[in-house]
Amino acid sequence: MDDAEYEAYRKQVFERVWTELAPFEEQIENAERIPYAEVKPILTDLGLWGLMVPERHGGRGLTVSQYVPILAELAKVHGGIRVAVHVHNTNAHAITVLGSEEQQRALLPGIAAGTKSVAFALTEPDFGTGAGLGSTAVRDGGEYVLNGRKHLITNSDFATHFIYFAKTDPDAGELGVSAFLVERDAPGLSIEALPETMGCKGGEHGRITATDVRVAADDLLGEEGQGVAKMEHSLELSRVLVAASSLGTAERALDLAVEHSRTRVTFGKPLAQRQAIQRYIAEMAQDVYALKLMIEDCARKWDAGRRIPAEASMTKNFGLEAVGRVTDRALLTFGGIGYTRAHSIERLYRDARLNWLEEGTPTIQNMVVARAFVGGYSFADA
């Protein structure tokens, strides 16, 4: 998609998400469910399921630099809808980059059309990640037998396939983990809903239990023992996209705070004329600007074909800290009324907190960054 086509498309998406998706905010918050019967046709008509799917497979084929503004705008409209689109597209990109040609042909056209969707089944309730997984995959002729439990698996309510990580060699550490494509209706796979989340309401983050689930050897995503490498590759980009989600939430919170400061009058003058509020606004704007530049740098490097493990984790970490500070100050700008659902700032405040946890906590991001620099990476390499 060339620049002119993209700009026309981006403008159309921005207009329609506010006129057609934003009105669902109160319904989603009240019901704690996204009314997919009404929302999915809109997402499909806008092409939002296939943003990261190559055009040859029926998608929009956006670059990361083109995708980021659309994802950020969805974060402004509603966090639950943003999560659904984000996870769907991130895993579509994983299939594009990591899947075999046969796997791509089988999945990507349906993913672009919204009739198929892939979820990332990594996190476990009883074990860690990477080499610390408890799930196992035992070879049995031309099949593998999967056993284990996963939880907090986003889009588990409508995913048709899961990228399921399991140990194929318990004694090989990170080289003993493999990734498998598992169909939703595979015998022995059960899916349960978990309690609703604090924010980003409406999305489902379920529990998946594999009990002697058989998958064909052709359902390996890549080669046996490459699971950790594939996980890191997928998470690398997704961390930048979580930061883009933080950016959208922060931008919306800043806009609402500025608007409120102009119209709210106390003791004879608008809040915007008070030095304390001016400081809040200046600090919020600084965070938004810095985060925006970090994301743009990551997107540019990724689109150029570079790996960005340190940059991705730094940007994700800064994003979660920035959106936390921005929504804190926005809430203070609104005062007590901001703590009620009279204004969207209350929702944005809750939505922002999911960004702390998506694709790894701050401690994990710090570990990735430190490991990169101790291993010889420097800003001169950037």
Say how many residues make up the chain. 382
- What are residue 326's phi and psi, to 5 degrees? -65, -45
- Residue pair 241/82 in contact by the 8 Å Cβ criterion: no
Q: Which of 251, 311, 358, 359 is catalytic?
A: 359
- What are residue 150's phi and psi, to 5 degrees? -125, 155
The tokens of 356 are what? Answer: 């702390």
Closest CA to 294 of 250, 354, 350, 348: 250
The tokens of 83 are what? Answer: 């999560």
The tokens of 270 are what? Answer: 């608008």
- Residue pair 346/340 in contact by the 8 Å Cβ criterion: yes
Question: What DSSP string runs through 41-54?
Answer: HHHHHTTGGGTTS-
Q: What is the rounded CA–CA span in Å between residue 273 and residue 261?
A: 8
Q: Phi-psi category of 226—alpha, beta or left, where left has phi over 0 and alpha has psi -120 to 50?
A: alpha
Active-site annotation holds for 359: yes
Q: What is the rounded CA–CA span in Å between residue 267 and residue 379?
A: 50
- Residue pair 281/271 in contact by the 8 Å Cβ criterion: no
Closest CA to 66 of 84, 47, 44, 81: 47
Q: What is the dihedral of CA 266, 271, 277, 281, to 10 degrees?
A: 160
CB burial string 283-312: b at 16+ within 10 A, e below: ebbebbeebbebbbebbebbeeeeebbbbb
Task: Say which DSSP state 220 is in.
Answer: B
- Residue pair 70/47 in contact by the 8 Å Cβ criterion: no
Q: Parallel, antiparallel, or unpaired for β 118-121 and 161-167?
A: parallel
The tokens of 271 are what? Answer: 């809040």
| Amino acid letter, residue 289 | Y
Catalytic residue IDs: 359
